[in-house]
Homo-oligomer: A and B are copies of this chain.
Amino acid sequence: MDFSKLNGLIPAVIQDAGTHEVLMVGFMNQEALDRTLATGFATFFSRTRNALWMKGETSGNRLKVERILSDCDDDTLLVLVTRLGDGNVCHTGDRTCFSTEVELGPKR
């Protein structure tokens, strides 16, 4: 993977392996990717906390990795997961982080 474009990070799109819903986007550095591959649970690098975090490590809402696909430029990952715990991925308690509709332009 090419970690050079974003100061050592790559975006990782988290998609529900069953429903295909996009749940969140996190960032991984090499260590987070290694931990994800070794443990089988999605692990990210938190830009705000400047530390690794296994998603759901405290809440129990871990993300079990089923498949990982890399893109054509090797600078982005698509991670297909099974939601564990209560199945809610967002810190707001929602199933997905993508809940806010953006209004499209009037000219369309």
B-contacting residues of A (Cβ < 8 Å)?
5-6, 11, 13, 15, 19-22, 24-25, 37-40, 47, 65, 67-74, 76-78, 90-92, 94, 97-102, 104-105, 107-108
Contacts and interface: CB of A to CB of B under 8 A. Distances in A.
Number of copies: 2
Which 3 A-B residue pairs are closest in the complex by CB-CB distance? Answer: A20-B20, A40-B108, A68-B102
A104 B40 CA distance: 8
Contact of A13 (B13, B20, B38, B72): B13
Most buried by B among A11, A78, A91: A78
B6 A107 contact: no
Given A11-B11, A13-B13, A68 B104 contact: yes
B69 A25 contact: no
Given A13-B22, A22-B22, A105 B71 contact: no
